[in-house]
């Protein structure tokens, strides 16, 4: 069944119940908005602190947008891009595109004008839906993208080069167009995070979306009584596919904008959230806020919170140990995945396997995995190789990129580009990205292992390890360390801490600086290599 059938079911079964809530804490206290991912977002007029819609209104709004698209001649094979911040309109627009039979193309809210134009062209986008935070960036590229393309604007004060989404959909039929859809038809194009280069367009069929929903509920047991706090951006497969667990169970989800530890706990308490998906930087911020007394757990209603899970990047064991000390009653899960595998869950730890924290886990629901050498042969347990996965959520292809598709898909298997090993219990441990492995003096050094070790240092907030050029060794491991506020740790302190590592794994250079992460929490190592790689590493001094 297509993913749209779940929405139809919820509208019929739970029509008057709340489906989505949007919370905007920055409306009350804008000084709390400190997360760097919002730096590119344009200031808009204040929005309501809280908005909500029911399942029947959700379904109705998706029908109206589908009918608007159909009235403009949209057909199967056409592409509709969404460039919006998380908001109540986001998901009804997404489902409206699917109900029209078109293919939906979510775009990263951090894209520059140049990147927006590139992705629109790469995905052959026919229609762009955008919000007020992006008017300036879209206006810059209107001369080059407007020919033959429609643009719908979601918000107040519609610019002259676009049409008003709200006015148009208000005059469209709310009757479901019931366009027939099959599992094998195109559904969505997601763009890769771009941490290893310019983003690639990843095409998925409807089967992938349904699989991700059924897998999410299988892994985390969402029931109709749950309430999911969704913080990451909906353009990414991670947030969307975790929310699919709410869709399949007909339960409430809360979209939180403007992320701080205080706003997270306020929302969990006020909205009675039971499931929260966090990224490593947010967990770090929360633990620090609790340690410093800025967040007092007794001030919040948290008894109903049953599950915290993390994905998108390797998770230091020390981080979860600290979390479980504060929240011993929480179930915990780690979710591994790629946009090419419809996001999180093709490998997952499983809430029953908390004793294996540090591993990414075992193959997820309906998935299989193996670890292979350069020739594609499986390696022995304990040996490092590339992780291959296979299942019903694998992408169809990299759209308009057959060369990259051939490099990544082999006989139904997806080559993840991640180096991993399997232990004697069958659990998979992520070692590092294949492209991030540092070869120093002939030795393979896996940065994730060093990052995990350094994360246990009490003064380190975040850390990234990269390889930088060295005339004698080829590359040397360099640690970029972001210290906690007020920490006075020196390079000598870090060097002493690292004596517990084998000598060849010890960072040869320490740089104290911010660790950049993208909107899904992944370390942006290309930026670090670009910043530090052009100069001979021995000339660097620590940055304050």
Asked if residue 428 belongs to a domain, the reply is no
Count the neighbouring beta carbons within 10 Å of the beta carbon of residue 512.
Answer: 18
How high is the pLDDT of residue 241?
92
User: Cβ neighbours of residue 522 under 8 Å, at least 6 residues apart?
Assistant: 193, 195, 312, 313
Asked if residue 488 belongs to a domain, the reply is yes
Asked if residue 283 belongs to a domain, the reply is no
How high is the pLDDT of residue 544?
30
- Give the torsion sign (CA, 398, 402, 408, 411): positive
How high is the pLDDT of residue 179?
97
Asked if residue 393 belongs to a domain, the reply is no
Asked if residue 123 belongs to a domain, the reply is no
User: Residue 454: which domain range?
Assistant: 437-539
Long-range contacts of range 358-362, CB-CB < 8 Å, 24 or more positions apart?
358/315, 358/317, 358/429, 358/452, 359/334, 359/423, 359/427, 359/428, 359/429, 360/314, 360/334, 360/336, 360/420, 360/428, 360/429, 360/430, 361/334, 361/336, 361/427, 361/428, 362/426, 362/427, 362/428
Q: Residue 519 is part of a domain; what is its CATH number?
A: 3.30.300.30
How high is the pLDDT of residue 29?
53
How high is the pLDDT of residue 194?
54
Asked if residue 261 belongs to a domain, the reply is no
How high is the pLDDT of residue 520?
63
Within 13 Å and on the Cβ side, how many CA atoms surround 150?
17
Asked if residue 69 belongs to a domain, the reply is no
Residue ranges in the chain whose pLDDT is less than 50: 30-45, 195-196, 534-544
User: Cβ neighbours of residue 143 under 8 Å, at least 6 residues apart?
Assistant: none
Q: What is the pLDDT of residues 140-163, one digit of tens each?
A: 999 999 888 999 999 999 999 999
Number of domains in the chain: 1
Asked if residue 493 belongs to a domain, the reply is yes
**Where would I find the H helices in 374-443?**
402-408
């Amino acid at each position: 069944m297509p993913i749209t059938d779940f929405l139809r079911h919820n509208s019929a079964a739970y029509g008057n119940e709340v489906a989505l809530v949007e919370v905007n804490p920055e409306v009350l206290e804008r000084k709390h908005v400190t997360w760097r991912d919002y730096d590119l977002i344009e200031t808009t007029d204040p929005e309501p602190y809280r908005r909500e819609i029911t399942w029947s209104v959700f379904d109705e709004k998706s029908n109206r947008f589908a009918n608007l698209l159909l009235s403009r001649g949209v057909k199967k094979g056409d592409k509709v891009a969404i460039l919006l911040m998380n908001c109540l309109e986001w998901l009804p627009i997404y489902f409206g595109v699917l109900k029209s039979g078109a293919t939906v193309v979510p775009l990263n809210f951090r894209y520059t004008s140049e990147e927006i134009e590139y992705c629109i062209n790469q995905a052959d986008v026919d229609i762009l839906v955008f919000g007020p935070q992006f008017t300036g960036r879209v206006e810059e590229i209107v001369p080059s993208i407007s020919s033959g393309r429609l643009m719908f604007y979601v918000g107040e004060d519609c610019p002259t080069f676009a049409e008003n989404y709200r006015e148009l959909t208000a005059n469209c039929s709310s009757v479901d167009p019931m366009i027939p859809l099959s599992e094998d038809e195109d559904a969505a194009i997601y763009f890769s995070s771009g941490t290893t280069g310019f983003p690639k367009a990843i095409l998925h069929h409807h089967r992938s979306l349904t699989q991700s929903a059924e897998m999410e509920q299988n892994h985390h047991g969402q029931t109709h009584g749950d309430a999911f706090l969704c913080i990451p951006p909906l353009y990414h497969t991670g947030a969307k596919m975790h929310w699919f667990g709410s869709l399949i169970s007909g339960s409430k989800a809360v979209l939180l904008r403007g992320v701080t530890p205080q706003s997270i706990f306020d929302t969990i308490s006020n909205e009675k959230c039971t499931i929260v998906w966090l990224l490593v930087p947010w967990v770090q911020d929360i633990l620090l806020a609790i340690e410093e007394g800025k967040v007092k757990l007794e001030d919040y209603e948290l008894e109903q919170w049953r599950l915290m899970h993390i994905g998108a990047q390797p998770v230091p064991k020390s981080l979860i140990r600290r979390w479980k000390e504060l929240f011993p009653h929480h179930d915990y899960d780690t979710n591994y995945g790629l946009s090419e595998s419809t996001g999180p869950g093709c490998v997952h730890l499983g809430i029953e396997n908390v004793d294996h924290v540090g591993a990414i886990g075992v193959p997820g629901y309906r998935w299989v995995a193996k670890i292979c050498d350069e020739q594609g042969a499986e390696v022995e347990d304990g040996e490092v190789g590339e992780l291959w996965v296979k299942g019903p959520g694998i992408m169809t292809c990299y759209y308009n990129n057959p060369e990259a598709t051939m490099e990544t898909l082999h006989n139904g298997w997806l080559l993840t580009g991640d180096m991993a090993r399997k232990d004697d219990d069958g659990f998979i441990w992520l070692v590092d990205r294949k492209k991030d492995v540092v070869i120093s003096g002939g030795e393979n050094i896996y940065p994730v292992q060093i990052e995990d070790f350094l994360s246990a240092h009490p003064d380190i907030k975040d850390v990234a390890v990269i390889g930088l050029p060295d005339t004698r060794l080829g590359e040397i491991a360099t640690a970029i360390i972001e210290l906690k506020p007020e920490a006075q740790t020196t390079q000598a302190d870090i060097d002493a801490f690292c004596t517990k590592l084998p000598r060849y794994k010890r960072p040869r250079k320490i740089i104290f600086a911010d660790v950049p992460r993208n909107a899904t929490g992944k370390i942006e190592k290309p930026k670090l290599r670009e910043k530090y790689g052009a100069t001979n590493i021995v000339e660097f001094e620590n940055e304050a």
